[in-house]
Amino acid sequence: MKGMIFTSLGDLVEEEFGIGAWNRTLARIDSVVDGAYIEADTYPASEMLSLVGALVEELQVPAPQLLDLFGQKLFFDLYRLYPELVDRHTELVPFLASVGTDIHEEMKILHVDAEVPDMRCDFYDRNQLTMYYDSPRKMCLLAEGLVRGAAQHFDKTIELEHSECMHEGADRCKFEMRLVPAS
């Protein structure tokens, strides 16, 4: 995984829970770099999974809540680095539909060693989409947070249902998202 994902997580923990919480978390894991992550470098996904597990223990925050919060922050950190990938879209649903086909493909060109999940849509219109997530890392809850971050960016309220999950034996995760009409 790219280092910027690790630095984004560290920033989130420091901002929301304090630097002490981040340092105690780093002390709980066997880090390949002792927590000195560099945005452009690549680190094993197992290290991220260890960090998340240690954070759940340290912060006493359920993993789904932590990963959702992290995903939302990560969306805005990615946007800061790659605004052109988002700004070419004016609507949330077409943006999300482009993640697996356009955005992840561009990430693989920009970062040859990038390991991106497979994200595909099989149905979408202006107000809804069905998205599938598949990755050996099984970080679908982080993907949910990224979708919520995108909704915030586009100033949309959404309903998001995670109707199938790899953690429950499914071959891939299925997200069904609907825009909530403005009142």
pLDDT of 133 reads 96
Q: Sign of the C-alpha dihedral, residues 174, 2, 65, 72? A: negative
Q: What angle do CA 42, 48, 76 make, to 5 degrees?
A: 80
pLDDT of 115 reads 79
Single-letter amino acid code for the residue at 176: E
- Better-predicted residue by pLDDT, 100 or 61: 61
pLDDT of 35 reads 79
Domain co-membership, 44 together with 97? no
Residue 36 within any structural domain of the chain: yes
| Confidence check: pLDDT of 109 > 90 | no
pLDDT of 144 reads 96
Domain co-membership, 38 together with 97? no
Q: Name the domain count of the chain.
A: 2
Residue 76 within any structural domain of the chain: no
| Confidence check: pLDDT of 129 > 80 | yes
Domain co-membership, 97 together with 56? no
pLDDT of 84 reads 93
Q: How confident is the model over 122-147, as a mean pLDDT?
A: 93
Q: How confident is the model over 61-86, as a mean pLDDT?
A: 95
Residue 10 within any structural domain of the chain: yes
From 3, 26, 8, select the one nearest 145 (Cα to Cα): 8
Print the domain residue range for 170: 91-179
Domain co-membership, 48 together with 113? no
Domain co-membership, 95 together with 174? yes
pLDDT of 20 reads 97
Domain co-membership, 96 together with 174? yes
pTM of the model as a whole: 0.92
% of the chain at pLDDT higher than 90: 76
Residue 66 within any structural domain of the chain: no
What CATH number did the domain enclosing 95 receive? 3.90.1520.10
Tally the C-alpha atoms within 13 A of residue 24's C-alpha that lie toward its C-beta: 12
